Amino acid sequence: MKMIINGKEQETTFQTAFQVRESIGNPDDIVILNGFQIDHDSPLDEHDILSIIRKGIMPEEEELESLMMARHTPYVHQKVKEGKVAIAGLGGLGSNIAIMLARIGVGKLLLVDFDIVEPSNLNRQSYYIRHLGMPKTTALKEQIEEINPFITVETRMTRISEENVKELFERYDVICEAFDKPNAKAMLVNTALEQLPDCKIVSGSGMAGYDSSNLIQTRRPMKQLYLCGDLENEARVGRGLMAPRVQICAGHQANMILRLLVGQEEV
């Protein structure tokens, strides 16, 4: 029968998944059959997709591609792989969003920030002690390369202004606004809506403190603009930014970006 084994179409006489594993790997290798990890042997059918994963070893690009496709389904994965997303601001929102998008295999990411990693960032941002003092663009790109070295990651260590919005973002499908300060958020959103009318913008507002996570929602106030957060709880004295709600909001933004990449524009 014909099957796809580790990303390659092959003819095989084996009748079960574990028989294939025994022929090419080790008994403790992970077996993914049609997108699901199996713990018990399973019969094979024509055109099944089988992946054998060696524990602790990074697969070749073709094999990883096959695994991602099996997890996401071919249609979804291809759309995500073709996606181009720019992330403006690599703090609590942006750093976590970038990691999520890398994990789902977005084909091209642009990371924009002018800052370095400081100790106070460690309470909610996707950085580690070893990154202290490094530019956030460099530290985040390093992490992404450890997750998926086969996607394209561009970085720009610069401050975003009305003058460079178009030059920075005009080649991207989605702009992810992830600034801390309201005036910077407004500047980027308004400038992008005016100068890049075909680009979609996913923005965050209101995720400080520790109120109910259920207050954080995704809304669509304008055709090209999506807004995630509770729209109320900004950071202030006595109500700082903390990891849980920040990451919940980041998850909303990342999921909305995913929906846009696969053609689901409604919230």
Per-residue confidence (pLDDT) for residue 176, from 0 to 100: 98
- Tally of structural domains, the chain: 2
Where does a domain end: 72, 89, 117? 72
Per-residue confidence (pLDDT) for residue 56, from 0 to 100: 79
Per-residue confidence (pLDDT) for residue 88, from 0 to 100: 98
Per-residue confidence (pLDDT) for residue 192, from 0 to 100: 98
Question: If we measure between CA atoms, which residue out of 49, 67, 155, 133 comes closest to residue 105?
Answer: 67
Q: Are residues 135 and 255 in the same domain?
A: yes
Per-residue confidence (pLDDT) for residue 58, from 0 to 100: 80
User: The domain containing residue 144 runs over which residues?
Assistant: 77-261
For the entire predicted model, the pTM comes to 0.86
Question: If we measure between CA atoms, which residue out of 198, 202, 188 comes closest to residue 260?
Answer: 202
Q: Are residues 83 and 67 in the same domain?
A: no
Q: Are residues 99 and 211 in the same domain?
A: yes
CATH of the domain at 63: 3.10.20.30
Q: Are residues 109 and 221 in the same domain?
A: yes
Round to whole Å and give the CA distance between 11 and 1. 6
Per-residue confidence (pLDDT) for residue 189, from 0 to 100: 97
Which residues of the chain, if any, have pLDDT below 50? none
CATH of the domain at 125: 3.40.50.720
